[in-house]
Amino acid sequence: MSKEYSDLTGRIIRLLEKDRGQPIQELARELKINRTFLVGYLKKRKNILRKLKLYLNLILCILLSTSFFIAIYGLPSSSVELYPIADSYVDSSNPENNYGGSSSLFAKHIKMEYTADLIYNAYLMFDLIGLPSGTIVESASLTIYVFWIGSTTKVYLHFCEDTSWNELEINWRNAPKYVDKPVSVTIMAESMKFYSMDATEAVKQALTKGLNKLTLVVTTEPKTSIGDFIQFDSKESTIKEYRPVLKIAYSIGALTTKTMTTETKTGIVKTASITTEIKWATVTEVFTKTEVQTLKEVVYATATLFKEKPSFSFIALAFIIGLAIGLLSMRLTYKPKGEKVQLKETSKELSKPSVKYCPSCGGELKPLGTTGKSICLNCGKIYD
């Protein structure tokens, strides 16, 4: 193609930017090309754009359909805020004392040089009964308001399986044992500030074990200064916003079933030897008492089917549905080839017989008599 026909689309766009309403005849004159050739050129470009638009529409339908079906694979996430149903702290230096009615909770671990370490651990219990069956925990956090902290401290959050304790009875001696390995570690450094501790793993463990309640235990790293402890508000705080709150984000995409099997065992569980001396003469008799009890061992087996990523077959099905929707959309929106080109051109010009064009320059070809050949009126080349 000659230089004057290169970048024809760009030249047309630049002219139309100056005057969008100019007729096809004037546009062809400014471009110095045959107007009939320009009509065919524009019609070809319009068909290309129309097909491109249809294919983009097809791709969009496929993407939207696949995304929609993957999205409904699991229900949208929900969230809930839970406040403690019981909380207290225990004190190693006063093992019999109970602090269930206190408006503050304490946690500290002071390393003592000559005596036992001074330890305060805070216990909090939450009711999980409101979570629906099949809950999938996406995240969980325990937010507390720290009224006082002695210095920058690592604060540990532990999971405790025991939920049988009572906040008005718990003390250092009867406090349930928690899992030594913390579910999260939070560095706290400032007083009178809210802190959030990651409790996701603890909530997951509770639900996996089929528990309707959750016990969380707050402890701290060992320190040497007597003032290195944290004090935070309890559920008895007079300011509701300062009370501990467990925030859980979850979705529904699993079925949880709990089975219970009971196995009964009978055996000797305690043997006590009792020696009794009976002096009838010089004879000593020894009696042995054996207690036999029946044990009932209850075993809970919990199986939880967690939400998994959509399988390949599920994604393929969503793709096929999107493809079908896209093809149907193409069928409904595609117009026949006989559609008229919306150009400002007289009907006389559109009714002209088809004309052949020079493949080199785009000029009009005229037949050379009965030779079967044609000549380009623009560049002079002859074609069969």
Whether residues 126 and 98 share a domain: the answer is: yes
Whether residues 246 and 273 share a domain: the answer is: no
337 against 87, higher pLDDT = 87
User: Residues 90-136: pLDDT tens digits?
Assistant: 999 999 999 999 999 999 999 998 999 999 999 999 999 989 878 88
68 against 226, higher pLDDT = 226
Whether residues 128 and 145 share a domain: the answer is: yes
Assigned domain for 367 exists: no
What DSSP assignment string belongs to 87-150? EEEEETTSTT---TT-SEEEEEEEPPSSSPPEEEEEEEEEE-TTSPTTEEEEEEEEEEEEEEES
Residue 339 has pLDDT above 60, yes or no: no
Q: What are phi and psi of 41, to 5 degrees?
A: -65, -45
Assigned domain for 280 exists: yes
HSE (CB half, 13 Å, CA atoms) of 132?
14
**Start-to-end Cα distance in the chain:** 18
Whether residues 240 and 133 share a domain: the answer is: yes
Cα separation, 35 vs 27, in Å, equals 8
Assigned domain for 235 exists: yes
**Contact of 251 with 136, CB cutoff 8 Å:** yes
Q: Output the pLDDT for position 50.
A: 75
Lowest mean pLDDT, pick from 103-112, 138-147, 330-339: 330-339
| Burial of 84 (C-beta count, 10 Å sphere; 0-12/13-18/19+) | buried
- The H or E element containing residue 219 is strand 213-220
Q: What are phi and psi of 65, to 5 degrees?
A: -65, -45
Cα separation, 115 vs 121, in Å, equals 18
| Burial of 325 (C-beta count, 10 Å sphere; 0-12/13-18/19+) | middle
Residue 230 has pLDDT above 50, yes or no: yes
Whether residues 298 and 165 share a domain: the answer is: no
Assigned domain for 283 exists: yes
68 against 254, higher pLDDT = 68
User: For residue 346, what pLDDT band results from cuts at 50, 70 and 90?
Assistant: very low
Residue 145 has pLDDT above 70, yes or no: yes
**Contact of 139 with 122, CB cutoff 8 Å:** no
Assigned domain for 314 exists: no
pTM of the full predicted structure?
A: 0.53
CATH of the domain at 228: 2.60.120
Whether residues 266 and 126 share a domain: the answer is: no
Pick from 115, 113, 60, 123: which is nearest to 93 by CA? 115
Assigned domain for 43 exists: no
Residue 13 has pLDDT above 80, yes or no: no
Determine the average pLDDT of the residues in 78-82. Answer: 91
Instruction: Quote the domain boundaries for residue 187.
Output: 78-256
Whether residues 152 and 250 share a domain: the answer is: yes
Whether residues 97 and 214 share a domain: the answer is: yes
